Amino acid sequence: MAEAPLIRVEPPGPVARSIIDRDSKALVQSYVRWVPLVVKEAHGAVVEDVDGNKYIDLNAGIAVMNVGHSHPKVVEAIKRQAERLQHYSLTDFYYEEAVTAAEKLREISPVNDGKVFFTNSGTESIEGSLKFARYFFGGSRQYFIAFLGAFHGRTFGSLSLTASKAHYRKGFSPLLPGVIHVPYPYPYRCPFKTDDPLECGQAVLDYIEEWIFHKLVDPSEVAAFVVEPIQGEGGYVVPPDNFLPGLRKLADKYGILLIDDEVQSGMGRTGKWFAIEHWGVKPDIMALAKAIGGGLPLGAVVIRGDIASTLVRGSHANTFGGNPIAVAAMSAVIDLIKEEKLLDRATRLGEYTLKYFNDLKEELEIIGDVRGKGLMIGVELVKNRKTKEPATEELAHVIEKSFKRGVVVIGAGMSTIRIAPPLVIDDELLQKALDILSDVIREENRQLRP
């Protein structure tokens, strides 16, 4: 694919406009849609639209295309499998492709003696995780503890945990009973009003133990904590270092399970296979989707062996989970992350990007916080460093202006630029994208303080 960025016609061009018009008539309009990008094809870290514009991809199709778009080895695995067997439900029969993919996943997963259940999406992986946790306790523990700012999906169970934006839940109540939300330790905006990250992490743990467990629900009735090791949709928020190890301890103290939602942060995105490994914590159940299918709809739950062994025949199943083509792509993705050393690449490029934005923060008041691990990086914009008022409109401008200059990027939380390119992005392309982004941020900074 020719060099990006390359803007031939100001987007949306004529072809894009006509497709968007048809979309508005044929599809429900409940989607979010940040920019009018109508994709025709994508390769590596470059996306081409229907009018021939080429963009540098800082989204990876929302943390999905970690090994890059149309990687020849993934394409080959899909083609080979499509020619042999497309579907034969794993619920009722067996096929080797699913076993091979599950073996590969077990090998890289931090879950003890993990057993795999395949799903079709992130939300379905969360639904399965909730069911497995309740089932393990024979229904005697009904409660789940989730975190404010979390995003776990949009079906009823997962939406009951999701608390990143109130309008995601608005109009859909009543949701699942038995979900208790507690603050997430967001170091830049600690709900407990401290600027010390470790104090913030400890305050959250103390709040759960001293307040929730004493005043609201006995811990013996809690089945699981459901947590994103790095909050995604909620703002690319990295918790302080004491939080996840402390949560693990709290879980162990009260016999509560730890469900780790790695749907967005998993599969090498943060420079480790799974983000929770940055803190040396082992979850009991891990929910996956997005990047594991290399672009095909696939999710998985990895369940601690002794928890999985409680599941009797017929207790949970689905028709499409572990579809042969999707798991063939997944095996190729795992092999590729190893072969191309993408964990190291994500770490190196991530460190570079963090430094780049931290340097820019020295210069530009509009940048309030820069955080992340590997290539999961958030740059939070504020109108004012002292009040930390979120620069929401400015974020929208940054996204729109970057798009017009050939960089596709979206936001997270209230005013955070979400940087999550394919891990294969080459150094030069990343540099170009960062330079365009910084130009655009600089412009917004000037507008804020003329």
Ligand X SMILES: Cc1ncc(COP(=O)(O)O)c(C=O)c1O
Q: Which is nearer to ligand X, 235 or 240 (CB)?
A: 235
Torsion, Cα of 429, 433, 438, 443 (10° steps): 140
Which amino acid is present at 70? S
- Roughly what angle, to the nearest 10 degrees, separates helices 427-448 and 342-363? 20
Q: Which is nearer to ligand X, 12 or 232 (CB)?
A: 232
Where does this chain bind ligand X (CB under 6 A)?
Answer: 121-123, 126, 151-153, 228, 232-233, 261, 263-264, 289
Q: Which is nearer to ligand X, 225 or 356 (CB)?
A: 225
Query: Using CB atoms within 10 A of its CB, is residue 216 exposed (0-12), middle (13-18) or buried (19+)?
Result: exposed
| Smallest gap from residue 149 Cβ to ligand X (A) | 11
| Smallest gap from residue 64 Cβ to ligand X (A) | 9
Q: Across-strand partners of 179?
A: 144
Give residue for tokens 């069911």.
131
Q: Which is nearer to ligand X, 123 or 242 (CB)?
A: 123
Contacts 24+ apart (CB under 8 A), 311-320: 311/132, 311/135, 315/135, 316/117, 316/128, 316/131, 316/132, 316/135, 317/91, 318/91, 318/118, 318/119, 318/120, 318/124, 319/89, 319/91, 320/87, 320/89, 320/120
- How many angstroms separate the CA atoms of 190 and 206, rounded? 14
| Smallest gap from residue 450 Cβ to ligand X (A) | 37
Which amino acid is present at 176? L
Both structure tokens of 82: 């499509």
Q: In what order do the strands lie in the sheet with 407-408?
A: 39-43, 46-49, 54-57, 407-408
Q: Which is nearer to ligand X, 95 or 168 (CB)?
A: 168
Q: Which is nearer to ligand X, 4 or 226 (CB)?
A: 226
| Smallest gap from residue 442 Cβ to ligand X (A) | 30
| Smallest gap from residue 429 Cβ to ligand X (A) | 24
Q: Which is nearer to ligand X, 261 or 277 (CB)?
A: 261
Q: Which is nearer to ligand X, 47 or 159 (CB)?
A: 159
| Smallest gap from residue 398 Cβ to ligand X (A) | 21
Query: Using CB atoms within 10 A of its CB, is residue 195 exposed (0-12), middle (13-18) or buried (19+)?
Result: exposed
Q: Which is nearer to ligand X, 418 or 432 (CB)?
A: 418
In this structure, the strands spanning 143-147 and 367-373 are unpaired
| Smallest gap from residue 20 Cβ to ligand X (A) | 22
Contacts of 138 (CB under 8 A, 6+ apart): none
- Roughly what angle, to the nearest 10 degrees, separates helices 342-363 and 324-339? 70
Contacts of 372 (CB under 8 A, 6+ apart): 230, 236, 238, 270, 350, 353, 354, 378, 419
Q: Which residue, judged by CB position, is nearest to ligand X in the bound state? A: 122
Q: Which is nearer to ligand X, 153 or 283 (CB)?
A: 153
Tell me how far CA of residue 241 lies from CA of 13, 202, 237, 281, in angstroms: 46, 10, 12, 11
| Smallest gap from residue 287 Cβ to ligand X (A) | 7
Q: Which is nearer to ligand X, 298 or 337 (CB)?
A: 298
Contacts of 326 (CB under 8 A, 6+ apart): 293, 296, 297, 298
| Smallest gap from residue 296 Cβ to ligand X (A) | 12
| Smallest gap from residue 295 Cβ to ligand X (A) | 13
| Smallest gap from residue 185 Cβ to ligand X (A) | 17
- How many angstroms separate the CA atoms of 332 and 22, rounded? 35
